Structure 1
Amino acid sequence: MMRTRPLKVALLGCGVVGSEVARIMTTHAHDLAARIGAPVELAGVAVRRPGRVREGIAPELVTTDASGLVQRADIDVVIEVIGGIEPARGLLTTAFEHGASVVTANKALIAEDGASLHETAEKYGADLYYEAAAAAAIPLVRPLRESLAGDKVNRVLGIVNGTTNFILDRMDTAGTGYGEALDEATALGYAEADPTADVEGFDAAAKAAILAGIAFHTRVRLDDVYREGLTDVTSADIASAQRMGCTVKLLAICERAADGRSVSARVHPAMIPLSHPLASVREAYNAVFVEADAAGQLMFYGPGAGGAPTASAVLGDLVAACRNKVNGARGPGESAYAQLPVSPMGEVVTRYHISLDVADKPGVLAQVATVFAEHGVSIDTVRQQGKDGEAWLVVVTHRASDAALTATVEALRGLDTVRGVASIMRVEGE
């Protein structure tokens, strides 16, 4: 039976995502009501600039008083798509205190302060949903939090930022330089005017913290995630990857240690074999590979950004939160019972690709190999090339700890025969 009293929704933010949320709520109102068991009504929209024309939104719903909106006694669910830490954190806390459930797309806030938000939601008997914070339209949070709740997830490996994937794809397939590819991404609307959050890996790191926390039932904060951006990736790195039968991707990697006693989370460029499913993810698309004991290998693929895709995830969470309101139930809260420590980057083990500028004379390779051996880093392959008095060594290692590799590189820089370490890149997905 359909409940007659509508559930009232407050929308914080009406930009690219917020306007799509409002549009879908209006155009799909009948279907949403049927799926929820009650009508859903947009009761207010908090914005910074009230004078702008917002198609499909009644002017009387628009307000600049976000605090007053979330304190209204008749609000059942608050949707937050304004981003950032404050005032979003204070507004959501206030919403919980007044009995409203929350749906948010705010990855930075969830990565930074998700634990306290979950605690507040629990205290006031409300729900906190954030599917859109991890990979926009790609269903990822709910499968990890619910569908795989009975399994043991060991690894989450993925491309979770569309801007950087577009840039690296253009460098790989069209041979463009980093700057040119970034300009193209900006012109197409994939990159913001200030692309720092994307190209320096902050966006992907926030998503990695969220995914690691859910996958491993452990609190993982943004500060726990090792981060490198792609600004230092060169055309030479791309060409070297191609010679190895690889491509370069900015990856978010969350892993459970082999002994099960710790976890790690990191974001950095890496070479992956063309045979790996993630290698074929092109343009601004996202994809995440999940490895679990019983389920095996799962891959989630789709658009990871944009107004409509992100709104799709927000509306899915809205339906879940509203159903709970209708049925007097609550959705899943935080699961952090495992309390596993997060390993520092130095303990992470993987393979490496190192390019060295060396003197063009006999005995250099032997010196370099000795340094690797002294630090316990085994060499898999070495490629030499030289021309006009210049020489290069490209070394690919077997698996070694990041700390051992760092010590090796420092020792190599101390050799008279090594003129410079041109690049270091991890090799993943094998």
Structure 2
Amino acid sequence: MALIVQKYGGTSVGTVDRIEKIAHKIDAFRDKGDDLVVVVSAMSGETNRLLELAEAVHPHVRGRELDVLLSTGEQVTIALLSMALNRLGCPARSYTGSQVHILTDNVFNKARIRTIEQEKIRADIERGCVVVVAGFQGVDEQGNITTLGRGGSDTTAVALAAALKADECQIYTDVEGVYTTDPRVVGEARRLDRITFEEMLEMASLGSKVLQIRSVEFAGKYNVPLRVLSSFVEGPGTLITLEDEHMEDALISGIAFSRDEAQLTITGVPDHPGVAYRIIGAVSDLNVEVDMIVQNVGADDTTDFTFTVHRNDYERSLAGLQTAATELNAREVRGDTKIAKVSLVGVGMRSHAGIASKMFGALGKEGINILMISTSEIKISVIIQEKYLELAVRALHDAFELARHPKDRVDTANP
């Protein structure tokens, strides 16, 4: 008998009909003898509807009252799913985050989980109940309702699996697993049988929307086996786990990409110690996260800085950089919002050379100019013009033969 934590996203529970189908799926699992804790999101579109209501009453509202409002979405789902399970003769009991006492810090709208009380859950499991928990929410030490931010239900599920020492945490969504890249861009994209926590974390941070980043961090930290499956199609999904000896079969596991990029450049800055801090600090002080950075030193004792930010932060960053440019007597500030980031991810890079040159060759063959480059032990990211994004992803997918199983590929370590 195994203890499984399952999570169903908004699409999976988007209608009463789908909730009933999920109830049948859960009942079938229970018939196999497994103990189940189920975490659910709000019904598809419900969180956005609640946000629109809040905006209508108080534009740009944040804080405690918004969390009180948003937490109601999941409360509807846990009640409906528990009703559907009980109707099937499958004992079920629902809990909000505060009822099961998922203790968080007091950062409203983006709280972090501290501890989870297990007594109620374990008592219900012992009685043969399926425990249905509202994702995305918790409670702080003062009893205030908190929410975990977008995608927080994934984090709730992984945190529960870690606390309960579950055998596996299964994330059910509208895709059949983690793919080598987005199948909407590359029709031949292949579902991965398994991927490491490290690779999944890179892919999530680089643009893959399958899993929320914090949930992958949590799973890796506590070594919770994580499996991504489809709510609508039966299959093995993708197992996310620790690296093992089989992981080196694949040099590249996947290609992640992001369209939400913007580039900023400041030129003609005096090449003096502390200048980099003054430039990047002017943007960081606006609570903007800087991603890739390139510095070029000129022959006239000046330097140029180019860096990227999220496109939503572009206008604020541009204003901050222009202020810094005036103070530093820089030559020019310019920006570009028509860029995109494409990244190769794979633990196999650790033990194989030639990946970067093969990547650059494939892009060059398609006439795609590389604007910036960033590397780490298991990833290579490039900034290119946005209009070439899909062409770049397809070219790289072909160059590294990602549509084929690693054992069937030719040696791609050398171009």
The two structures have a TM-score, normalised by structure 2, of 0.27
Structure number with higher relative contact order (C-alpha < 8 Å, ≥ 6 residues apart): 1
The two structures have a TM-score, normalised by structure 1, of 0.27
